[in-house]
A and B are shown apart, each in its own frame.
Chain A
Amino acid sequence: MKALVAMSGGVDSSVAAALMLEAGHEVIGVTLKQWVAPDGSLPTAGCCTVADAEDARKVAARLGIPHYVLDHSAEFTAEVVDRFVAGYAAGLTPNPCIECNRRVRFGALLGRVEPLGCDVLVTGHYARIAMRHGRRALLQAADPTKDQSYVLHMLSAADLARVRFPVGELTKAEVRDHAARLGLGTAAKPDSQDLCFVAGDYRAFLRSRLPEIRRPGAVVDASGAVVGHHDGIAGFTVGQRRGLGMAAGEPRYVVAVDSATATVRVGSRSDLAVAACTVAGVRFVNEAAAAGEPVAVKVRYRSRPVPARLFPVADAWRVVFDAAQEAVAPGQAAVFYRDDEVLGGGTITATEAP
């Protein structure tokens, strides 16, 4: 088998490439040139920087595999960055990493596997692919603390047939041990945290990309009374507590963001409670869920799946939580699980108070 390995320069994709090679496969490494700032500079922070491309090249040289830098900056700008900015402008809390997986890595790049003469696309994601009930299933990683199945929910069973996640069977510690054993310079590299296309403050980035979102507006309470002002809705996220510019007292949280009126609504912690949400653009890995099916739903990257039931509605799915949830933010992905299996997921478009 010939594998196209997406190498970010990090330890996970480096080990993924090495494991494919050790398993006897032919391997080509590629690093995606994703983002070029308007001034022409390349990112220096985040997960896909100039230094990371250099790290990927060094790892590929050490492994003795060809390595190429492929230019996907046009797709990345249009499909990830512009959507991210538009999402915030619409008062949403977008997840650009999911759009990058959907549009770039498992969109454009997956489409290049065959033209580039390869059979499968390999990434360093922590997730597993296995046969369950006679069909190919996407499963949580063996290491629950590193599981990334949430950001991979858009993959179909057909996609999974052409994708491999070699490190998904390992713990992060085991991955670092492999990297050290292989003498890979990335063994001790810290995990990436920042958005790869933003150096520093993402609110400043939003304002620079879309000056019109700098529209000042009101901060209102549950009764609609104006309790403060803001200089633009960009960066206000449901559940946010800090940065509201409000006097001390009872803790206040962002409860809703209305882009049409540039209004940020705040309330107490109990006002964050959500009984149900609408999820659009749902894609199931295999068969669609049954109406009323009990599942576990994860509504943001760093949260645990919680029990809920799924109901199909027009062009979308309604998720009814068994117990009210906090900080369910429109724009984020909701991913449906049955035990450790990803059934599918989509984007939260609306929430309902209890």
Chain B
Amino acid sequence: MPLGILVPVLYLDHAATTPLRPEAAAAMAPFLGGEFGNPSGMHAVARRAKNAIEDARDRVAGVLGARALDVVFTGAGTESDNLAVAGVALAEGRRGGVVTTATEHEAVLATARHLERLGCPLTVVPVDGHGVVDPARVAAAVDAGTAVVSVMAANNETGAVQPVAAIAAALAGRGVPVHSDAVQAAVSRPCSLDDLGVDLLTLSAHKLGGPQGVGILAMRPGITLAPVIHGGGQELGRRSGTHNVAGIVGAAAALEAAVTDRKRLIDDVGAARHRFEVDLTRAVPDVVFTIAGADRLVQHSHWRIPGIDAETLLVRLDGIGLAASAGSACHSGAIAASHVLAAMGLAPADAAGCVRFTFGWDTRPEDGTTAAGLVAAAVGGLR
């Protein structure tokens, strides 16, 4: 079956997923071949698989500043978010309250709304025009019934960085665990439990150069979770289901590689984004960068060109070999109205113009110039 257009692709959708790092591929290779064991068995084949995932757990725990037994491997970042929020809110049979923000990933918001229907009180704290939440408002929303606070480390659409450490500090001594989805932030920022000051932390392997299908939830000691997935009791009963051994091994390798490579990534991606934004502004002076001036992840550029809708621009860019996105999509691939941009107060017509370019570990500094040239060409055909 043909696989679509045969033009060189400049891939600027790394926030959707990023290529597998060679370190991850190498680590996974044995487990996609001869090493096929189920870690839950008692024989030598199983033992080798068990040793592999526990070694991976140790390494992930080391990076994130957790004890190994407080690291849970799940099937996705989304599942880790579900487990963190629902697992804490429903632990020990309670119906604990959830405090979160308006620009969280749907993995958190939809879970919180589901919990609300089950009787867990929900407070969604609004954000400012940059999508940033005020720590004092989060702290003020917490009351005696609050079981968990969930604030993402950085937004997946805009790259806006949230003051998670300040929120955790404001809540110090309140006895309410703070969870943070650091799926995007961990690409370019230190995101251990101590770095963020949080009690629970979600990561996703495939955003870091690991395989798709592995999520990580790391916790402080003493957090009790009600499981979301029930069954054979793997992961100390917190996440049943046969382990994705190759994926877990790849996730640990990718996380370590991402940390080792972080400084270099920040330099190259930062240079690429800078060149992109400078060159694009020169070519299309009316371009609007959504959160210019805010603290944002180095790999994100979120922008619109007045009068041009994202759908049209992205189709044209795809046609000339640039892969990017609008940041929010439904399962069909159609662009979905963004709850993030709505919460930031963007008018629907402006939100419909927003495009997200996200650079990644294989981005070269000169890619920014190439990208700006391709956007200028696509825009030129529309004006």
**Whole-angstrom CA separation of A112 from B4 in the bound complex:** 22
- Bound form: Cα–Cα A66–B2 in Å: 10
Cα A344 to Cα B263 in complex, Å, equals 67
Distance in angstroms between the alpha carbons of A71 and B315 in the assembled complex: 13
CB distance from A40 to the nearest CB of B (A): 10
What's the minimum C-beta distance from A233 to chain B, rounded to whole angstroms? Answer: 35
What chain A residues lie within 8 Å of B2 (beta carbons)?
Answer: 61-64
Shortest Cβ distance from residue B101 to the other chain A in the assembled complex, whole angstroms: 22
Interface residues of B in 312-362 (CB under 8 A from A): 312, 315-316, 318-319, 330, 332-336
In the complex, the answer to whether A71 meets B335 with C-beta atoms within 8 Å is yes
Question: Which residues of the other chain, A, contact B311 by a CB distance below 8 angstroms?
Answer: 68, 70-71
Residues of A within 8 A of B (CB): 28, 31, 33, 42, 50, 53, 61-66, 68-71, 112, 115-117
Contact B312 A112 (CB under 8 A): yes
Are B333 and A69 interface neighbours, CB within 8 A?
Answer: yes
Q: What is the distance, in angstroms, from A85's C-beta to the closest C-beta of chain B?
A: 23
Asked if B44 lies at the interface with its beta carbon under 8 angstroms from chain A, I say no
Q: Is the CB of A61 within 8 A of B1?
A: yes
CB A58 to nearest CB in B, in angstroms, measures 9
- At the interface, yes or no: B382 with Cβ under 8 Å from chain A? yes
Nearest CB to that of B331 among chain A residues? A50
User: For the complex, what is the distance from the CA of A42 to the CA of B332, rounded to whole Å?
Assistant: 10
Shortest Cβ gap from B338 to chain A (Å) = 12
Listed A/B pairs (23) with beta-carbon separation below 8 Å: A53-B332, A61-B1, A61-B3, A61-B4, A62-B1, A62-B2, A65-B4, A66-B4, A66-B5, A66-B318, A68-B333, A69-B332, A70-B334, A71-B334, A71-B335, A112-B312, A115-B312, A115-B316, A115-B382, A116-B316, A117-B315, A117-B316, A117-B319
> Any chain A CB within 8 A of the CB of B381?
yes
A-B contact count (CB 8 A): 50
* Interchain CB contact under 8 A, B332 and A33: yes
Which residues of A sit under 8 angstroms from B318, Cβ to Cβ? 66, 68
State which residues 128-187 of B face A: CB under 8 Å: none
CA distance A62 to B1 in the complex (A): 6
With the chains together, A53 CA to B312 CA distance in Å? Answer: 19
Among B312, B319, B330, B332, contact of A66 (Cβ-Cβ < 8 Å)? B319
A116, B1: Cβ atoms closer than 8 Å: no
Task: Other than A68-B318, A69-B334, give 6 A-B pairs with Cβ distance below 8 A.
Answer: A64-B1, A69-B333, A71-B334, A116-B312, A116-B315, A117-B381
Ordered nearest first, which 7 A-B pairs have the shortest CB separation?
A: A64-B2, A69-B334, A69-B332, A33-B334, A71-B334, A115-B312, A69-B333
Q: Is the interface of B mostly helix, strand, loop or mixed?
A: loop
Chain A residues contacting B315 (CB-CB under 8 Å) are 28, 66, 68, 116-117
Please measure, in the bound complex, the distance between the C-alpha atom of A115 and the C-alpha atom of B333, giving whole angstroms: 19
Contact indicator per residue, chain B 1-15, by CB within 8 Å of chain A (1) or not (0): 111110000000000
Report the nearest A residue to B378, measured CB to CB.
Answer: A117
Are the C-beta atoms of B319 and A50 separated by less than 8 Å?
Answer: no
A50 CA to B319 CA, complexed, in Å: 25
In the complex, what distance in Å separates the CA atom of A117 from the CA atom of B3?
Answer: 21
Nearest opposing residue in chain A for B314, CB measure: A68
Minimum CB–CB distance for A325 against chain B, Å? 43
How far, in Å, is A114 (CB) from chain B's closest CB? 9
Residues on the A chain within 8 Å of B334, using CB:
33, 69-71
A258 to B135, CA, bound (A): 60
Min CB distance, A334 to chain B, in Å? 36
Q: A335 vs B316: C-alpha distance in the bound complex, in angstroms? A: 38
Which residues in A have their C-beta under 8 angstroms from that of B1?
Answer: 61-62, 64
CB distance from A155 to the nearest CB of B (A): 23
CB distance from A106 to the nearest CB of B (A): 18
Q: Which of A53, A62, A71 lies at the interface centre, i.e. has the most chain B CB atoms within 10 A of its CB?
A: A71
**Alpha-carbon distance A235/B3, docked complex (angstroms):** 47
Which of chain A's residues have a CB closer than 8 A to the CB of B333? 68-69
Known: A28-B315, A70-B311, A117-B381. Contact between A64 and B335, CB under 8 A? no
Determine the chain A residues whose CB is within 8 A of the CB of B5 once the complex forms.
66
Q: Which residues does chain B contribute within 8 Å of A69, judged by CB atoms?
A: 332-334
* Chain B positions within 8 Å of A62 at CB level: 1-2
Smallest beta-carbon distance A72→chain B, Å? 9
Note all chain B residues with C-beta closer than 8 A to A31.
Answer: 332
Chain B residue with Cβ nearest A2: B319
The residues of A that contact B335 with a CB separation of less than 8 Å are 71
A51, chain B: closest CB distance, angstroms: 11
In the complex, what residues of B have CB within 8 A of residue A70's CB?
311, 334
- Docked CA distance A116–B381 (Å): 9
CB-nearest residue of chain B to A54 = B332
Minimum CB–CB distance from A168 to chain B (whole Å) comes to: 27
A108–chain B nearest beta-carbon distance, Å: 11
